[in-house]
Amino acid sequence: MAGESLIPPTEKRESTMSVLTPTLTLEQETNPWEAQAARFDFAARKLNLDQGIWKVLRQPTRELIVHIPVGMDNGSIEVFTGYRVQHSVARGPAKGGIRYSPDVSLDEVRALASWMTWKCAVVNIPFGGAKGGVICDPKKMSQGELERMTRRYTAELIEFLGPEKDVPAPDMGTDEQTMAWIMDTYSMHMRQTVTAVVTGKPVNIGGSRGRREATGRGISVVCDEALKQLGMSIEGCRVIIQGFGNVGSNAAKLLAEKGYTIIGIAEYDGGLYNQNGINIPALIEHRKLAGTITGFKEAEAADKEELLTCACDILIPAATENVITSRNADRLRCKILCEGANGPTTTIADDILADKKVFIIPDILANAGGVTTSYFEWVQDRMGYFWTEAEVNQRLDSIMTESFNDVILYAKTHSVNNRIAAYMLAIDRVAYTTKQRGIYA
């Protein structure tokens, strides 16, 4: 829990966000910054948050836009646009991934940075929130082009990054190699090896054991806790996962090992369904060889959109934002929605799911396993002493379980749904620290 609240809870608490969502247009519904702001405002109002602190926390601390010239393999020069948004550094250095995608926008990066602030606060680790991105299509770029772009992007941001300032990590379109390039570029400018400037690195240059599987592992832990809350059993629990990248595939693997039945997998290029359960290790091997989940013979081909609305006990959207909207929320037939992706559910969809009594494990809790183990990596780098995978996993399981219980208790205490409880808990923690520190002038 927050330890100390700024304002005592009011006696009456509303359980849905319906006072906010009617004011959102269809365009706003799928704008991640608008969605984040609507949820923040609603939770802040519930907390009776001081108006001054409200204004401070509603906006990012710093927004950077850089234009990156890169020499391409064919001899031409391209200029890519990159962003880095630091939402808050009240509780510690800014923390957040870097994504490479054609769809990156400033509003998206703003929203992801703010979600990182709340995510770090929910699991009570000493970071603020940040996010970065470059508008590009990494699938159409060579390894050399990606390296040159990454190094120039890092150089443009060099004075704003650092173990005590802002610590990036991988996200969509980036990986361990990207982090190695960033770490090396930063280290060359500092004239010393600085492993703690990024997380999600290869293990041999300061990465943490268990980091690659951490987000999926965190999802499996909160699913376990949700079943306990609802009096359900793992045996026979049917799961559908949308997205089979690092997060989705590791969540599927770990859940299957625990005894969950993974009946559906949806990917960008198709879906699979098997009511008796999909053999996840075999599917991972198939994907490794074929580069796709399609064509897997131990499951039926299925429409990726229709899979989201198939009957199941747990639905895990683990890909991108705005997967569950006003267009399909009323057709969902899951008992539990566990948000492995950032912002997969719009605010209007939240209202619909509340009416359907769907138990939501919100993104700022459900996928916090990744940033929690990134915190472990940062700590290990700064100590120069590294833990075993068993130690990493034990610490992660403990934090995810405790954080889940904190959110559920907050929801019950304030008579709000799980998402608003997570936001209230996070905002309360950040606001309390901000007020303690005071406003420098």
pLDDT band at 17 (very low <50, low <70, confident <90, very high): very low
Q: How far apart are CA 154 and CA 184, in angstroms?
A: 10
pLDDT band at 26 (very low <50, low <70, confident <90, very high): low
Mean pLDDT (the chain) is 93
pLDDT of residue 1: 36
Mean pLDDT for the stretch of residues 309-334: 95
> Computed over its alpha carbons, how large is the radius of gyration of the chain?
21
Where do the structural domains in the chain lie, given as residue ranges? 60-205, 214-366
380-417: pLDDT as tens digits: 999 999 999 999 999 999 999 999 999 999 999 999 99
Element (DSSP H or E) covering residue 321: none
Strand partners, 262: 239
412-438: pLDDT as tens digits: 999 999 999 999 999 999 999 999 999
pLDDT band at 320 (very low <50, low <70, confident <90, very high): confident
pLDDT of residue 7: 30
pLDDT of residue 132: 98
Q: How far apart are CA 265 and CA 75, in angstroms?
A: 41
Q: Strand pairing of 94-101 and 77-86?
A: unpaired
Within 10 angstroms of residue 423's Cβ, the number of other Cβ atoms is: 28
Element (DSSP H or E) covering residue 259: none
325-339: pLDDT as tens digits: 999 999 999 999 999
Domains 60-205 and 214-366 share a fold: yes
Check whether 33 has a pLDDT greater than 50: yes
In CATH, which superfamily holds the domain spanning 214-366? NAD(P)-binding Rossmann-like Domain (3.40.50.720)
Q: Strand pairing of 166-170 and 359-361?
A: unpaired
Closest CA relative to residue 366, chosen from 332, 324, 336:
336
Backbone angles phi, psi at 88, to 5 degrees: -155, 140
Mention every residue, 6+ apart, whose C-beta is less than 8 A from residue 113: 60, 85, 86, 87, 94, 96, 129, 130, 131
Check whether 258 has a pLDDT greater than 80: yes
Check whether 19 has a pLDDT greater than 50: no
Catalytic positions, written as ranges = 131
pLDDT of residue 15: 39
420: left (phi over 0), alpha (psi -120 to 50) or beta: alpha
338-370: pLDDT as tens digits: 999 999 999 999 999 999 999 999 999 999 999
126-151: pLDDT as tens digits: 999 999 999 999 999 999 999 999 99
Q: DSSP characters for 73-131?
A: TTS-EEEEEEEEEE---SSSSEEEEEEEETT--HHHHHHHHHHHHHHHHHTT-S-EEEE
Question: For 272-298, b where at least 16 C-beta lie within 10 A, e where not — what string?
Answer: bbbeeebbbeebbebbeeeeebeebee
Mean pLDDT for the stretch of residues 116-120: 97
Sign of the CA dihedral with 85 first, then 88, 92, and 95 last: negative
Element (DSSP H or E) covering residue 40: helix 32-46
37-78: pLDDT as tens digits: 989 999 999 999 999 999 999 999 999 999 999 999 999 999
Q: How far apart are the first and last CA of the chain?
A: 31
Mention every residue, 6+ apart, whose C-beta is less than 8 A from residue 340: 215, 216, 219, 241, 243, 247, 248, 251, 316, 317, 318, 363, 366, 367
Q: DSSP characters for 353-381?
A: HHHTT-EEE-HHHHTTHHHHHHHHHHHHH
pLDDT of residue 8: 31
Question: Angle at the Cα of 375 (from 31 to 7), degrees rounded to 5?
Answer: 65
278-305: pLDDT as tens digits: 999 999 999 999 999 999 999 999 999 9
- High-pLDDT (> 90) share of the chain, %: 90
pLDDT of residue 409: 97
Closest CA relative to residue 362, chosen from 412, 418, 307:
418
Residue with tokens 């700064």: 382
Q: Which fold has domain 60-205?
A: Rossmann fold (3.40.50)
Sign of the CA dihedral with 111 first, then 113, 119, and 124 last: negative
Residue 143 DSSP class: H
Mention every residue, 6+ apart, whose C-beta is less than 8 A from residue 242: 248, 266, 304, 307, 308, 315, 316, 317, 318, 319, 323, 344
CA distances (Å), origin 369, targets 16, 189, 365, 385, 404: 26, 31, 8, 21, 12
Q: DSSP characters for 179-246?
A: HHHHHHHHHHHHTS--GGG-SS--GGGTPPTTTTTHHHHHHHHHHHHHHHHHT--STT-EEEEE--SH
